Amino acid sequence: MATKVAIFGDLFMRASVLEQTVREHLAPICGKLEFVTQESDWPLTTQAHDAKLREFVGDPEEVALMTTDANIIINHLPPITRLVIERSPRLQVIGCCRTEPVNVDVEAATAAGIPVVYAPGRNAPAVAEFTVGLIIAECRDIGRGHHALAQGNWRGDLYLYDRAPRELSGQTVGLIGFGHIGQLMPALLKPLGLRVLAYDPYVAAEVFADKGAEQITDMNTLLAQSDIVSLHARVTPETTGFIGEEQFRRMKPGAYFINTARGPMVDYDALYRTLTSGHLRGAGLETFAVEPTPSDLPLLRLENVTLTPHIAGCTVESVTRAAEMVSIDIANFYAGKPLVNCSNPGVLDR
């Protein structure tokens, strides 16, 4: 009997890539495989949120129609709700090609005895190198120069001594959050001559030194000592809104704030006030509290910001890495081996 796989991709996480990768890893173990695939038109559409799941695209009823006889679900963005799980009586394992399975009802999967594997750090290299690019673009006026030239304006004032930026070498970058992405940053920043500080109360002290960062145990100290503050924490109830008016005021006058993590951690109204007051020289923002951004968002009208539309994780390698990580763990499941990245590992002990 064939093992049946339902794959839900989109215009970024292509279903063809997922199918090919699953075949490579699973066919030697399971033999015959049958695939049913679907692609949404994300990222050309927006994501939805509800009380249980977030950042999903699609209708659970439509998803369930494809999974009624599936043994495996591999997904990127569709809502894998309790309804989908209950209507998939043959389901054995769920693979979510994301850094967190936020669009999967893990509680319902656990109750059904189904492991949920995922791909933490899938886009960490992409986001880390993008962050360096955003730091350089904001601190060296690249975005402002481009915008002016695109409008036919040669901005000689960008060469004035009184507004000239400092070179990066010799400055200090403070990293808030030292997980998958943060730990890659020192190796990229230090060759530019930057001193790297890092704050993360959930990371062991030896990791900081091993990755080339100076550990700071108090976030206020990091804010006060950094010329550039770069956010790399995860969104949790504890971190939601934890960068606000007080934190911006603790930063050095003339410092920069960079966010390639998530918007809900930052009070953007407070950031706007701090930027317009002149206390901060600039900001580089890749994510926002509401996405897509409202057209009347005040930050969009400021000159001293460089803005991008949540694209830091978008690389070919992010897709292939996620497909590989999830496929390996699904193969591990069928081979009776330990799972590397499982959000509900206790389900296997039942």
Active site residue 262: yes
- Region 60-83: mean pLDDT is 98
- At residue 348, the pLDDT reads 85
Active site residue 167: no
Domains of the chain by residue range = 3-122+315-349, 124-307
Report the C-alpha gap between 94 and 109 in whole angstroms.
Answer: 8
- At residue 242, the pLDDT reads 97
Active site residue 291: yes
- At residue 349, the pLDDT reads 80
Q: Do domains 3-122+315-349 and 124-307 have the same CATH topology?
A: yes
Distances (CA, A) of 153 to 28, 161, 225: 61, 20, 36
- Region 86-101: mean pLDDT is 98
Report the C-alpha gap between 328 and 318 in whole angstroms.
Answer: 15
- At residue 1, the pLDDT reads 86
Report the C-alpha gap between 221 and 140 in whole angstroms.
Answer: 26
Catalytic residue among 122, 262, 281, 321: 262
Residue 10: both structure tokens together = 């989109």
Over the stretch 25-69, which tens digit does the pLDDT of each residue have?
999 999 999 999 999 999 999 999 998 999 999 999 999 999 999
Inform me whether the pLDDT recorded for 216 exceeds 80: yes
Catalytic residue among 39, 100, 214, 291: 291
**Band of residue 153 on the pLDDT scale cut at 50, 70, 90:** very high
Burial of 201 per CB tally in 10 Å (0-12, 13-18, 19+): exposed
According to CATH, the topology of domain 3-122+315-349 is: Rossmann fold (3.40.50)
- Region 136-163: mean pLDDT is 97
Q: What is the mean pLDDT of the chain?
A: 97
- Region 56-85: mean pLDDT is 97
* Predicted TM-score of the model (pTM): 0.95
Over the stretch 183-210, which tens digit does the pLDDT of each residue have?
999 999 999 999 999 999 999 999 999 9
Catalytic residue among 23, 140, 249, 310: 310
- Region 269-282: mean pLDDT is 98
- At residue 350, the pLDDT reads 66
Over the stretch 240-253, which tens digit does the pLDDT of each residue have?
999 999 999 999 99
Is CATH 3.40.50.720 what the domain over 124-307 is classified as, yes or no? Answer: yes
Polymer length in residues for the chain: 350
**Band of residue 98 on the pLDDT scale cut at 50, 70, 90:** very high
